[in-house]
Structure 1
Amino acid sequence: MNIYETLEQAILSDEILFKEKLTAQCLDYCIENEISAADDFVPSVFTKPSYASKCHIVDPRELPARKDFESREGLATLVHAIAHIEFSAIDLALDAVYRYPHMPQAYKRDWLEVANDEIRHFKMLERLLNELGYVYGDFPVHCGLFDAAEHTAHNILDRMAIIPRYYEASGLDVSPQIIKKLENKRKNPQVKKLIEALNIIYTEEIDHVLKGDKWFKYLCKRTGKKEGSEEAVYFEILERYHLLSKHRPHVNVEARKEAGFSCGEILKLGARECS
């Protein structure tokens, strides 16, 4: 099995069942075999996201505000937006294995497991979206995560800082707030299903961020960063990618601590207190 060819097929595909099949094959192979790429292997540069054939991609500023969760369409726009994040996350996890072939076997297994989780998350949300009378691609999306992956493709340390430790960790801040807003509508069976899905996703995303934290710190050490300088390195990367000025109305202290963040980092990100 040429796992890198299989990974590329999975990343390029817009069909979730095909992605699921290929990801499972890669994970099974990774569990049983040591994965290595040929010395002349050069990962492809992807010029557009896999979902481009399904979704209308717009600038984030052009996305409609999601405030009306009372109507089926309003709820569907929220489900669709979260499903899109999960679909994007599948490709990012697969790309983390595909693009950096010289990382340890444990790294490859970690991100294939993450991809497997993200596929399950997407399918949960897709079923709910279908129940509401819609399909993935019915609403416009942005490609911010794809762009972030493209911008960090050249540097795996940047990738681990930006994707799991910034974007995915930001989801830990946002998810409880969304669940809180939905709670008073729980009598609606679709809202109840969405809350249940979001709780599953939230719990598992903590583990995903923790995996990113582990490999970020591993790479700091491997690239010769001074011991104890991980926090400074992290914020230097965020500053370089112009992410420090992003407004955070809420920082989830406990979830971030569980996912490997120090209190020093959490306070710099905007939390009022951390102990």
Structure 2
Amino acid sequence: MPLHRSRTPDRPREGASRRATTVGAATGVLLAGVVLSGCGASSAAERVDVYAASSLTGAFTELAAAFEERHPGVDVALNFAGSADLAVQIAEGAPADVFVAADEPTMQRVVASGRAVGEPLALATNRLTIAVAEGNPYGVRSLADLRREDLATVVCAEQVPCGRAARTAEERAGVSLRPVSEENSVTDVLGKVRSGQADAGLVYVTDVAAHEDELDGVPLPGAAANSYTVVGVDGGAQERAAEFVAFATGPAGREQLERHGFGAPD
């Protein structure tokens, strides 16, 4: 808005400097007000805090952007980490509005804490695969190959979803792995294979698909599917959280997840 001033009679030249100073100060106050007003508008945006399994990073980053586009004035804040760590944080009072777990046992921890709003909904499925460097330089063909002494293998710790899935895969194949390390999230396993700190690792098929330019995946026949579930949490944005859950489990969300390699929910 233009700055309006009442016209004043001409004054001696020495007064002109004072008028310029006064006008400059007024203009500065006006501009400061505009800046503060802009900041106020930004801070007034509704925020939805979504805590999601790290394997959903690519899919949910795009899904959140699509949700914000359809809901002007809503800011989706994403927190990605291992499902088990997120569940502990939420049970201890973290300000989450939505939680997405990579398996049902982890989701049940949040339900048992009393913070879930409504029943968890099925979101997607995922399966383990063996991640190796592009071209599979060590010729890995099966889970049993990961016992070779010339291979450094990493897996997830048993208390996290990808770790439970790895133990199940070992039991089905009758193989007992000897990993050089056990990580707290699938992204940590993936990072060690990508960086060359490990020769192979058990990750989800979606993780390999997201890095197909540098990794190959060796299928695990009969590997059990992990069921991802989503639920609203009793944070401060329950109405928007419910809308986000509906969006994620609806056609738009399913399409986004399928594009990133996730399977349809059971």
Q: How does the TM-score come out when normalised to structure 2?
A: 0.26
Higher Rg of the two aligned structures = 2
Could you say which structure has the higher helix fraction?
1
Q: How does the TM-score come out when normalised to structure 1?
A: 0.25
Could you say which structure has the higher strand fraction?
2
